[in-house]
């Protein structure tokens, strides 16, 4: 349990509530500063998208058919702060692999999201041990 890391925990206050972080020194948690978005490229059939009843899925209803087109297919997704904002694909038929991103939520675009999305694409290349080019669908 938590006792195994008792000496490594640091108590912090978040929104007036106690919380714990792992670390050897206190962390300054500023409630008023906005945090960077959390951007992830999830693979097809990722468990994050499984098990939701339709009205609780983390994707706007208008775009669900772009992630779940039918026939049991679940496409790879772009997730920003827990919400699905697009799909992505990987083409490894060339010397340089290509990750194509199709964002269907223009409100999820910002310099921070773009930066973190490029970092996720770089991680795909690192994982596959190859060069990867990043493309927006339509570019």
Residue 37: the pLDDT is: 84
Classify 55 as helix, strand or coil.
helix
Listed residue (129, 139, 97, 134) closest to 117, CA to CA: 134
Q: Is the dihedral of CA 92, 108, 29, 17 positive or negative?
A: negative
Question: 64-70 long-range contacts, Cβ below 8 Å, gap at least 24?
Answer: 66/102, 66/104
Residue 139: the pLDDT is: 47
Global confidence as pTM: 0.71
Q: How far apart are CA 137 and CA 33, in angstroms?
A: 33
Residue 124: the pLDDT is: 94
Residue 86: the pLDDT is: 93
pLDDT in tens, the chain (139 residues): 677 777 788 777 776 777 777 776 555 555 444 577 889 999 999 988 887 666 667 888 888 899 989 998 999 999 998 889 999 999 999 889 999 999 987 767 788 888 999 999 999 999 999 999 999 885 4
């Amino acid at each position: 349990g938590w006792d195994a890391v008792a000496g490594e925990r640091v108590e912090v206050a978040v929104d007036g509530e106690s919380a714990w972080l792992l670390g050897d020194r206190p962390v300054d948690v500023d409630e008023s500063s906005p945090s960077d978005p959390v951007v992830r490229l999830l693979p097809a059939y990722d468990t994050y998208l499984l098990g939701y009843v339709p009205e609780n899925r983390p994707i706007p209803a208008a775009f669900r058919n772009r992630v779940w087109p039918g026939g049991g297919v679940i496409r790879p997704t772009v997730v920003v702060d827990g919400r699905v904002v697009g799909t992505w694909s990987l083409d490894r038929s060339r010397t340089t692999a290509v990750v194509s991103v199709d964002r269907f939520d223009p409100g999820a675009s910002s310099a921070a999201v773009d930066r973190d999305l490029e970092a996720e694409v770089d991680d795909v290349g690192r994982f596959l041990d190859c060069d990867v080019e990043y493309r927006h669908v339509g570019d």
